[in-house]
Amino acid sequence: MMIKLCAFAVLLAVGSCGSVEGQEKNENQNQETNPLSEEHQTITQLRFIDEYIIPDGMVFQNTIVGGISGIDYANNTWYMISDDRITPHFYTADIALSSEGITAINFTGITNFKDANGANLEESITDPEAIRYGNENVVWTSEGNIDKGIAPFLRTASLDGTFVSEATLPERYMPNAASSFGPRQNGVFEGLCVSYDRKGYWVSMELPLKQDSEMPTLEDTDAKIRIAYINKATNAFEKEIVYDLDPVARPALLGTTFEVNGVAELFAYAEHKFLVLERSYSTGYLDGGNTIKIYDVDATNATDVSGLDSLKGAEYTEVSKTLLLDFDTIRSELTSGIIDNIEGITFGPLLENGNRSLVLVADNNFSFFGPQLNQFILLEIEQ
C-alpha cells in the first residue's frame, strides 16, 4: 500500500457540481435510498483499503486545513467541519477513491458559520465537532465550553453558513457548576448522524453525564453515555438510549497521567442500527496514543431513558454492541504505525464490486500539541 502525501490538487469551485437535475438525482442516490441493500442490512466485516495524508500546514483559501473533526458525503460532495474556534467553518471537497485506494482530495470551498444575526460567529464560543448534510442544509454540533459556562448545541445552517435553527437542550446537557449534575468538559455532542428514517438526528455524548456514571478508567467502571434523538420538525430532544463504554485501553506512560475513552462518532445505517466509533486515548505514546474501535450497535431492544434524570440505580436495557474493527489490527498499514485522533466517519460511494465504502478522518488539532496527521482512512463494508 502506497501512502499519498502530496498527490492532490486544490480546486476552487466556480459553480455548482453539475446541473440541478443531476444534483436531484445524486440527492436521491446519496440521501434518500438505503445505503445498504435491502436484503442485507447487516455489516459482517470492514476491510482496510488505504490511508491518505494531507500535509500538515496546507493552506486553502487563506485557512490552514486541519482540525477536521467530522465528515459527510452527499450529492457527490464531501462535507468536512473544522474545529477552528476562531472562525468556525466547513469545507467542501471531492475525494477520488476506488477499491484500490484514495488518489486525490480536492478542496472546492470553505464556508464560515454565521450567527442568528448573519454575522460570523464570535471567537471561542464554539467547539465544532460533527457535521451532516440534509435537505440543502448542514447540521452541526458544538461542545461549547462547559468549564466556562458556554453551552453545547446542535444547529442547522444553510449551505452558505446562514443560521437556520437550533435544537432546544434539556437541562441535563447544560453547563452546571454542580459536581454531580450536568455534562463534563469536552464530553458532550461529539457524534451526530441523520436518523435512518430521515425524520431527525441522533447525537452521542462523548463522556458520561456526571449524574449518570463515573468516567471510564483502565478498570471496567460501567461508564454509560446517552445517545439522544432530536425531532427535525420540532428541534426537540425526544428518546434517549444508553451505550456502555469500554474501559480505557492503555495506561499513560512516561510520567504522564491523562487517560480517556469515549464515543467520537456514530452513523445510522439501518433501522435501530448504528456504526459507533469509540476512541481511547492515553498520553506518553509515540504511536499517537489512540486506540480506535468501530462497533456494530443494535438499539432494537434499548430502553428510552429520556425520563430518567440519572441512570444510577435505574433499570433499563442498553444497546448491544459487536466489535467490527479494532484499528490495532491495521496499525502496521498506517504511516509510522500511527493511529491518529480519528473523529469522523461516513459512508462514501459504492466501490466497483458494489460494496459501500466507509471513510474516516482524524482531527490533527492543528498540531497544537505536537505533530499530528491529517489522516484519512478508506475501508470497504462487507455484508
pTM: 0.91
What are the tens digits of pLDDT across the range 168-198? 999 999 999 999 999 999 999 999 999 999 9
Flag residues of the chain having pLDDT under 70. 1-40
Backbone angles phi, psi at 76, to 5 degrees: 60, 25
For the beta carbon of residue 13, count every other beta carbon within 10 angstroms: 15
Instruction: Dig out the grid coordinates for 345 from the structure.
Output: 466517519
- The H-assigned helical ranges of 163-322 are none
Task: Give CA–CA dist 113/90, Å, rounded.
Answer: 8
**pLDDT of amino acid 221:** 86
Instruction: Dig out the grid coordinates for 230 from the structure.
Output: 432530536
**pLDDT of amino acid 40:** 58
Over 124-187, what HEC string results?
A: CCCCEEEEEEECCEEEEEECCEHHHCECCEEEEEECCCCEEEECECCHHHCCCCCCCCCCCCCC
**Please, are residues 363 and 54 in contact by the beta-carbon 8 Å criterion?**
no
**pLDDT of amino acid 63:** 94
**pLDDT of amino acid 1:** 40
**pLDDT of amino acid 11:** 38
**pLDDT of amino acid 163:** 98
Produce one character per residue of 235-267: b if its CB has 16 or more CB atoms within 10 Å, e if not.
bebebbbbbebbebbbebeeeeeebbbbbbbbb
What are the tens digits of pLDDT across the range 339-351? 999 999 999 999 9
